[in-house]
Amino acid sequence: MVLHNAIGAIFIGSLLSTTLYGVSCAQIYYYFGHHKKDPWYLKLLVLAVWASNAAHQCLISHTTYTYAITNYGNVAMVNALIPTLLIQFLFTAFTALMTQIFFAFHVWQKSDKNRILTGIMLAIALTGFVTTVVYAVQGLQVKTFEQLNAYKYLIWIANIFSAIPNLYITGAACHLTPWKKSTDSDAFIINAVVFFLETGLPFTVFSIIMMVMGIALRDSMVYVSFLFILSRR
């Protein structure tokens, strides 16, 4: 494993992820300062997403420090896996699941409790969650990046099923437009479209880039840097 293909990818991904984590901290500060009347369960969900992002940031920071500082000059570590690199995927999965369940709940509310629309979205979200967890668990059982590459297809599948809900939310909102007209539903549609443009579209683009990089550079871990970025919601 070439140094810049492994440690370099982790370092760059960590830098970009740290930047986005700072943005999420600013969003949390703004939310609790301007949405004091939101129900307690919504505030708890927002706090849980932030806590999951914080734990993820700690794990990738530990990963980067271990490779770049603790084992500086240790060539044998270039191809070695450390547990925190895999454990952070679990927090990625939990963050994605929480945000998607939140929007599934809104779809359920605005569609007069349409079980089909909501059930499809939950099934897609759970598939992405389970696939990511399986990837992390399988990764914890191997010792090198080459061995981890054997499970690369799992993280591709997970990101596909994580990107689909972003498109599904917008599609569901548009589907609700013809037969449910109200100020509240209009706000939901606007929020869904804004969510797609600000989060869903960049996430989908990065997912495609990650898969292209993974296919084009089969023997490298460059795609890991994109995984760190995709963890930010």
**99, exposed or middle or buried, with CB in 10 Å at 0-12, 13-18, 19+?**
buried
Beta-bridged to residue 80, according to DSSP, are 144
Please tell me the predicted confidence (pLDDT) of residue 124: 84
Rounded to whole angstroms, the Cα distance separating 63 from 40 reads 34
Q: Which residues of the chain have pLDDT under 70?
A: 1-6, 163, 165-204, 206-207, 210-211, 213-221, 223, 230-233
Closest to 98 in 3D by CA, of 31, 57, 52, 38: 52
Please tell me the predicted confidence (pLDDT) of residue 190: 62
Closest to 169 in 3D by CA, of 190, 142, 196: 196
Residues 6 or more apart whose Cβ sits within 8 Å of residue 229: 13, 16, 17, 20, 206
Please tell me the predicted confidence (pLDDT) of residue 104: 80
192 in Cβ contact with 175 (< 8 Å): no
Q: Is the pTM of this model over 0.85?
A: no
pLDDT digits (tens, 9 = 90+) for 4-51: 566 777 888 888 888 888 888 998 888 888 888 888 888 998 899 999
pLDDT digits (tens, 9 = 90+) for 2-17: 555 667 778 888 888 8
Please tell me the predicted confidence (pLDDT) of residue 170: 63
User: What's the start-to-end Cα distance of the chain, in Å?
Assistant: 30
Please tell me the predicted confidence (pLDDT) of residue 223: 67
Please tell me the predicted confidence (pLDDT) of residue 51: 93
Rounded to whole angstroms, the Cα distance separating 26 from 186 reads 27
Please tell me the predicted confidence (pLDDT) of residue 232: 63
Beta strands per DSSP E along 27-186:
none
Rounded to whole angstroms, the Cα distance separating 159 from 166 reads 11
Q: What is the mean pLDDT of the chain?
A: 77
Please tell me the predicted confidence (pLDDT) of residue 233: 60
Please tell me the predicted confidence (pLDDT) of residue 179: 47
